[in-house]
Amino acid sequence: MFKKILIANRGEIACRIMRTARRMGIPSVAIYSQADRGALHVEMADESVCVGPPPSQQSYLAIDNILDACRATGADAVHPGYGFLSENTTFAARLREAGLTFIGPSAHAIAMMGDKITSKRIARDAGVSTVPGYAEVINDPEEAQRIAREIGYPVMLKASAGGGGKGMRIACNDDECREGFVRASSEARSSFGDGRVFIEKYIERPRHIEIQVLGDQHGNLIHLGERECSMQRRHQKVLEESPSPLLDDATRRAMGEQAVALARAVKYESAGTVEFVVDPHRNFYFLEMNTRLQVEHPVTEMVCGLDLVELMIRVAAGEKLPIRQADVRMRGWAMEARVYAEDPFRNFLPSIGRLIRYVPPRSNSAVRVDSGVYEGGEVSMHYDPMLAKVIGYGGSRDEAIGSMRDALNEFHIRGVAHNISFLAALVNHPRFRAGNLSTGLIAEEYPHGFHPGDTVHDDPVLLVVVAAAIHRRYMNRAAAISGQLPGYERRVPQDWVVLLNGTLYPVSVRCDGARQEVLYEGKSHSVVTSWQFGQPILRGTVNGTDVCMQVERHNMHYRLLHWGSQVDVMVLTARAAELLACMPAKAPPDNSRFLLSPMPGLLSHLHVAAGDETKPGQQLAVIEAMKMENVLLAERSGKVGKIFATIGETLAVNQPILEYE
C-alpha cells in the first residue's frame, strides 16, 4: 500500500479523497493555488504545498509544479479526482516516468477514451451501440453546416476533448450550427487546450444514463449498475440518482455488458463511467467514457455499499477487486443534488464572495453531504462554483426524495447566492416525482429561467401559521421591555393579518410557552418549537407533523424558505395592513441604456466600438467566469455611445460595459 498520496485537486473532491485515505491510514498531501491558501482541503491534509498563482493553468494544471510537490513531500501516488488533470495522458505518463503511481487508468486507456472521436470508433468495434454522426474532426463553420445538413437537424456539436457541458452546442438550423461551431471550439480550446469539434445526431427527448465500471490490473472487470443523470441545465448535471426509474432488468443488463465490453477493449483499470443516451423506448447509444471518478459517484456508493475511492486506491496498488459481478447488489435508492454558488433568480449567474453563514444538513443514514468549503471561506471566481453535494437515501425512490427535501430545507448558506431553492423545486416537481425525465426537462419547465414565483408552496397555510407564531413571539419579547409606565404597559393583541404573496390571511394567535395556537378560518393549528430568536433554522411540529424551515427577519419582513419556496411575509395589525395598501410602490432605476456585466468575470471579447449600430441578438461581449464563456447579446437596436470596459479587465456584477446614445 502507498505511503503517502498527493491529491492533485481542490475543493469537495479533494476533501472526499482525504477522508478515505485517512480511514485507510494513508497520509495525504494537498496542493493549492495562492487563491486557495485558506481552503478546507488545505486544512484537512496532513501536508500542503502551494503550486502557483490563482489561474488553473499556472497551478492545478501545472504538471511540473505538481511533480515538484510530490518530490518535496515524498508522495508515492497521486489521485487526480475529477476535472483538472484527471484525464490528461501527459500527466499520467509523466507520473509513471517519475516512478509515481497514478490512481486511475492507464495513459493508453485515457487517450483512447478521452478523445471522443477515437472512443466512438473503438465502441463500434467492441459491439457497443453508437449515435449516428460524423466522427471526424471538422475544420470550419462551413464544413460543420454541410455535415449537419447531411446528418439532419437537430445536431449536437461537441468538443472532442470536452466534458462537463463545456464545448457543447445544440443546433437546429444553419445559423445555429455556424455559431455553435465557433463557440464550442473556442470554449473547448480555452478549457482543454484542444479546439477539435465533431457532430452527431441529437436524440430528441433523450435521457442521460451512465454505467459505473470498475477494473483491476489482473483483468477483472465489473459494473455497478447505472446512474440516471438526465436532470441537466445547459448540458451540466444538476440532480442524479441510482437506480434509473426508466430501466428494466433486461436493459440494465445489456447496458452493463456493453459498458464492460468497451472497458475490456482498452484493458481498463480503476473506476470509470460509460455514458449512454437513451430514448423513451429504452434504445441506448454510447455517448462517451469518463476515465475518472465521477462527481455523482456517491449515489452508486450509497446503493452498492462500496467506497469507490478506496477501491481505486487498492486497484492502483496492485490488489485484485474484492468482489465479482455476481456479488454486486443494489439496495434502496439514492439521489444527489449539486449545490452551486450561482443565482437561480438571475439566470444562474455565478456568485463569488465570502460564506458568511454555512450550515450544511446533519448527516445520518439517509443524508450525506460532501463539501469543500466552510463558514468564513471564500468562493473564488477562478474555479468551479460547486459548494457541496447533498445525497439523499431511502428504501424507495419516494423515500429518497423525502430525505433530499428534508436535507435541502436544512441547508443554510448566506454571503453568496446559491441554487438550493431551485434544487428543492426540482425535487418537488411533478415530472421529477413521476420519473418522467429527459435532459430537456429543466429547459421545458423553466423556459424563461427560474423565478421565486415559479415555486408555489404545497401548503401556504403552513407558511402563514409559522409566520404568525414567530411574530407573536417577537411581539411578546418586545412587550417585556423594562421601565414601562404603570398603566401604560404594551399589550400584544391576539388578532393579526398575515400578508403572503399579496393575499391577506386574518389569524388569531395564543401563546403557551413553547406552544402557539394559530386560529385561521375556524381551524386551530398547533405550533411547537424550541426555536430561539436569531436561529436560521426552525425545527418543530405543526399539528404534530415535523417541520424544518429557514427563517430570517428583514426589517418588517420574515423570509421563509421551505420546499423550494422563498417568500417574504409581513404580519401586521388590521389597521397597519389597511394603511400599507395605500403606500406607493418605488420604481426601479432605468438601466436600459447600459450593458451591465451580469456576473463577476473576465471580459475576454468586445465586439463593438463607440459609434457602432447594433441590432437585437447581435453579440456585444463575452465574459469568462468559472471556466465558462458567457455571451452578452444586444436586446434592442441602437447606437453605442461610450465604452467603459477594456478587454482583459476583471468586471464586477452590474459594472457598466457600454452605454447607448
Over range 252-274, report the average pLDDT.
97
Cell numbers for 132, please give them. 449516428
Distance CA 382, CA 654 (A): 19
> What is the torsion angle, in degrees rounded to the nearest 10, for the CA atoms of residue 455, residue 461, residue 463 and residue 466?
-170
Contact between residue 422 and residue 239 where contact means Cβ atoms under 8 Å apart: no
Question: Do 106-131+206-329 and 332-455 have matching folds?
Answer: yes
Q: Rounded to an integer, what distance in angstroms lies between the CA atom of residue 605 and that of residue 186?
A: 12
Domain map of the chain by residue range? 5-103, 106-131+206-329, 132-201, 332-455, 460-480+490-580, 594-660
The model's confidence at residue 497, banded by pLDDT at 50, 70 and 90, is: very high
Query: What tens digit of pLDDT does each residue of 126-176 get?
Result: 999 988 787 678 889 999 999 999 888 989 998 887 766 778 899 999 999
Pick one of 1.20.1090.10, 3.40.50.2300, 3.30.470.20, 1.10.15.40 as the CATH number of 106-131+206-329: 3.30.470.20
361: phi then psi, degrees, rounded to nearest 5:
-60, 155
CA–centroid distance for 591 within its chain = 31
Return the CATH fold of 594-660. Answer: OB fold (Dihydrolipoamide Acetyltransferase, E2P) (2.40.50)
- Identify each DSSP E strand in 307-444 by its residue range: 333-340, 342-343, 349-350, 353-354, 357-359, 367-371, 378-379, 386-394, 412-414
Question: Looking at residue 591, what is its pLDDT?
Answer: 86
Q: What is the mean pLDDT of residues 190-219?
A: 90
The percentage of residues in the chain with a pLDDT greater than 90, rounded to a whole number, is 75
pLDDT in tens, 472-482: 999 999 999 99
Distance, in Å, from the CA atom of 212 to the CA atom of 207, rounded to the nearest integer, reads 16
* C-alpha cell read off for 58: 499556472
Of the candidates 288, 301, 342, 624, the residue annotated as catalytic is: 288
H-helix or E-strand spanning residue 158? strand 155-163
Fold adopted by 132-201: Dna Ligase; domain 1 (3.30.1490)
Residue 148, amino acid: A
CA-nearest of 161, 162, 122, 135 to 262 is: 122
Say how far residue 214 (Cα) sits from the centre of its chain.
25
- The band of 346, judged by pLDDT with boundaries at 50, 70 and 90, is confident
Q: Which of the two residues, 628 and 270, has the higher pLDDT score?
A: 270
List the CATH code of the domain at 460-480+490-580: 3.30.700.30
- Is 288 an annotated catalytic residue? yes
Q: Enter the CATH code of domain 332-455.
A: 3.30.470.20
Please tell me the pTM assigned to this model. Answer: 0.83
Per-residue model confidence as pLDDT tens digits over 581-634: 999 988 888 888 999 998 888 899 999 999 999 999 899 999 987 667 788 999
Averaged pLDDT, 415-425: 93
**Complete edge-to-edge strand list for the sheet that includes strand 628-633:** 628-633, 619-625, 601-606, 650-651
Count CA atoms closer than 13 A to 272's CA, side-chain side: 30
Per-residue pLDDT for 223 more than 80? Answer: yes
Question: What is the DSSP annotation of 427-486?
Answer: HT-HHHHTT---TTHHHHH-TT---GGG---S-HHHHHHHHHHHHHHHHHHHHT-S-PPT
Class at the top of the CATH hierarchy for domain 5-103: alpha beta
Helix, strand, coil percentages in the chain from 3-state DSSP, rounded to 5: 30, 35, 35
